[in-house]
Amino acid sequence: MSEYLGIDVGGSSIKFSLMDDSGQPTGQPFSIAHSGHDSRGALEVGLHRALTEGTPSAVGIGSPGYLSVDRKHVLFAANLGWSNFPIVDFVSQIVGVPAFLDGDAQVAALAELRLGAARQAKSALYLSLGTGIGCSVIVGGKVLAGAHGMAGNAGHSPVARNLKTCACGKSGCWETVASAKALIDMSEKSPLDFYAACQQADADALVILDEWVEWLALGLTPLLGLLDPQRVIIGGAISEYSDLFVERLAVACSSHLLGADYVGVPEFVPAQCGAHAGVLGAALLAIDGMARSAK
């Protein structure tokens, strides 16, 4: 039986998980924290640790940012400080096996498609709410790539003028006001304290939650109008708390989406692969990559 290593690069940590070829984890996933500028070092540390825990025959990587069409380089990742980083060569030289790259939201959507909340959906929109906003589109049993592999890349779409400057250097990006980080920054509390306050119906906390939901809906509504998905899957660590906001989000989207009075809005559901969707999907990417290479 072969073993595959999945890597999920995030804005504040990099997750690693080994998986067998039937899609089952073969060890305990682990993560290496970083603060952006040291993320390349964190990646290297994690790779060496993974090699002490297993013998992968291929590596799959899910990365944020803009990726080269040939899926070899991260051209630009704002939260990591990566610019034209040859990540596939970097990883495969350390591990000594082939490596495959795709967007972080794309690999997470692949996990939800094969193992999670998108299995029975004809179409779905996957949103990963974390340091930024990842987004990907599932249509006809596939994760949509687009002409440049950038389909669904909506986190840096402008939703208003004169908002604070985004990590990408522009102003008005959706993720500056609607990511999980934006919510926690607005609350000025730890995530656990803020979610506890919402669960206790604290009035101040719910005002902040509604403000954030409104920003989330403002960016999401055009995507719903464009794609008319059957299901919207909420991923990222915040999905554990999605019961706090999915109803509010459906109501907010209903108020903005023309036609919602007649046909409603999609189902809003939490990701089933949870916080591990990225690493599981990255390992699936490696399995698919090796299967294609063998043909």
Question: Smaller CB distance to Zn ion: residue 168 or 217?
Answer: 168
Q: How far is the CB of 189 from Zn ion (least distance, A)?
A: 25
Smallest distance from Zn ion to CB 236, Å: 17
Contact criterion met (CB below 8 Å) for 26 and 18 = yes
Instruction: Decide whether 125 or 177 has the Cβ nearer to Zn ion.
Output: 177
Of residues 185 and 193, the one with the C-beta less far from Zn ion: 185
Q: Which of 117, 53, 204 is nearest to 126 (CA)?
A: 117
Q: How far is the CB of 233 from Zn ion (least distance, A)?
A: 22
Give the whole-angstrom CA distance, residue 176 versus residue 132: 7
Q: E strands within 80-187?
A: 82-85, 99-103, 123-129, 133-139, 142-143
Residue carrying structure tokens 């051209």: 75
Q: How far is the CB of 156 from Zn ion (least distance, A)?
A: 4
Interaction mask 185-224, Zn ion, x per CB under 5 A: ----------------------------------------
Q: How far is the CB of 21 from Zn ion (least distance, A)?
A: 38
Place of tokens 């589109």: 137
Closest CB to Zn ion among 15 and 156?
Answer: 156
Handedness of CA 207, 210, 215, 216 (dihedral sign): positive
Helices (H), 153-264: 174-178, 180-187, 191-199, 203-227, 246-256, 260-263
146-176: burial string, b at 16+ Cβ within 10 Å, e else: eeebebbbbbbeebeeebeebbbeeebbbbb
Nearer to Zn ion, 219 or 229 (CB): 219
- Judged by beta carbon, residue 121 or residue 223, the one nearer Zn ion is 223
User: Is there a contact between 169 and 257 (Cβ–Cβ < 8 Å)?
Assistant: no
Size of the site for Zn ion (CB under 5 A): 5
275 binds Zn ion (CB under 5 A): no
Per-residue x/- track, 141-180, Zn ion (CB under 5 A): ---------------x---------x-x-x--x-------
**How far apart are CB 165 and Zn ion at their closest, in Å?**
8
The site for Zn ion (CB under 5 A) is made up of 156, 166, 168, 170, 173
